[in-house]
């Protein structure tokens, strides 16, 4: 069935470090892929998206590329900041336009 697998957290990095949060999915067809972010005490926000193979979504210095061959959508950022500390969710939309969620990865950035 449909599912999303993402890195278990927490992931702890120092400021200015390189970030990768892995995400792979199992789905039929070619779903749209998303990363959502939840800052402490806040609701979910769409961070970036990609709707077809080889698309690269980007926002706020974060990037993720839709890799059909590996069914992956890994999130990357070249230099993280303390303000990036949050929980990151990978997701895709199924044929009914419902979102299928990963378990979330808590990111902690230390100054």
Q: How far is the CB of 44 from another protein (least distance, A)?
A: 4
- For another protein (CB under 8 A), the number of binding residues is 21
Q: What HEC string does the chain produce?
A: CCEEEECCCCEEEECCCCEEECEEEECCCCCCEEEEEECCCCCEEEEEEECCCCCEEEECCEEEECECCCCECCEEECCCCHHHCEEEEEEEECCCCCEEECCCEEEEEEC
Residues 51-70 within binding reach of another protein (CB under 8 A) = 51
Rule CB under 8 A: is residue 14 a binding residue for another protein? Answer: no
Site residues, another protein (CB under 8 A):
32, 34, 36, 38, 42-46, 49, 51, 87, 89, 93, 97-99, 101, 103-104, 106
């Amino acid at each position: 069935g449909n599912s999303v697998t993402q890195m278990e957290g927490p992931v702890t990095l120092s400021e200015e470090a390189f970030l990768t949060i892995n995400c792979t999915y199992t789905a039929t067809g070619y779903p749209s892929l998303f990363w959502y972010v939840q800052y402490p005490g806040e609701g979910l926000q769409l961070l970036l998206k990609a709707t077809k193979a080889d698309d690269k979504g980007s926002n706020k210095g974060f990037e993720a590329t839709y890799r059909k061959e590996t069914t992956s959508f890994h999130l990357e950022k070249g230099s993280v900041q303390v303000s990036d500390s949050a929980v990151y969710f990978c997701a895709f939309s199924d044929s009914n336009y419902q979102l299928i969620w990963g378990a979330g990865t808590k990111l902690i950035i230390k100054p």
